[in-house]
Amino acid sequence: MAQRSRKRGQRAAPPPQPPGSKPPSRTELRNAEARAQLQPLAPGERPGPVTVAAIAAAVLGVLNVTLYLAGVRVRHTTFAGTVLLGVVLLMAAVGMWRVRYWAVLGFQTLLAVTCVIASLSLFLASNVTGAVRAVLVIGSSGTLFWKLVGAMARIQMPERRAPQ
């Protein structure tokens, strides 16, 4: 069987490696290129997805407790659990408003759990309304989760120093 050659685009040559070490993989090279393109946050800058997440967390935290006090109940919930969730969401909102890495990571964890639970509830949906709600929750939490991934890379990025 004859071999075919495939033309590939010109790629930059990898940096020279010390003897005895293996060259970086294509994935490592792509990751390094993506990191080189990231810009660190300017002082006082807050990425858009982090702002949206902070507002959403604050609204959900206040709304959760307010609805419970208004008499709206979900099966197997307690006042203590509702207040605890509200406090956690408000702490995440304040932390994200201040652009703290831990707050964004914690809120992403809540988004991931929400997405998994909504995905599982999609299997149990007994009507179209329940299925549509689950799909909306999956879509919104998944999209916000993905947008926060890029923002987190910029938040944890150290400041670049000018070459001397």
Per-residue pLDDT of 113-162, as tens digits, reads: 999 999 999 999 899 999 999 999 999 999 999 999 988 888 876 555 55
Is residue 63 predicted with pLDDT exceeding 70? yes
End-to-end, the C-alpha distance of the chain in Å comes to: 56
Predicted confidence at residue 26, as pLDDT, reads: 86
| Cα angle, residue 120 at apex, residues 91 and 50 outer, rounded to 5° | 30
What's the rounded mean pLDDT across residues 52-57? 96
Percent of the chain predicted with pLDDT > 90 = 48
Kindly indicate the confidence band of residue 61, based on its pLDDT and cuts at 50, 70 and 90: very high
Predicted confidence at residue 1, as pLDDT, reads: 56
The residue with tokens 């879509």 is 139
The residue with tokens 């120093």 is 161
- Cα–Cα distance for residue pair 25/9, rounded to 1 Å: 17
Kindly indicate the confidence band of residue 76, based on its pLDDT and cuts at 50, 70 and 90: confident
Residue 93 DSSP label: H
* pTM of structure: 0.73
Predicted confidence at residue 14, as pLDDT, reads: 58
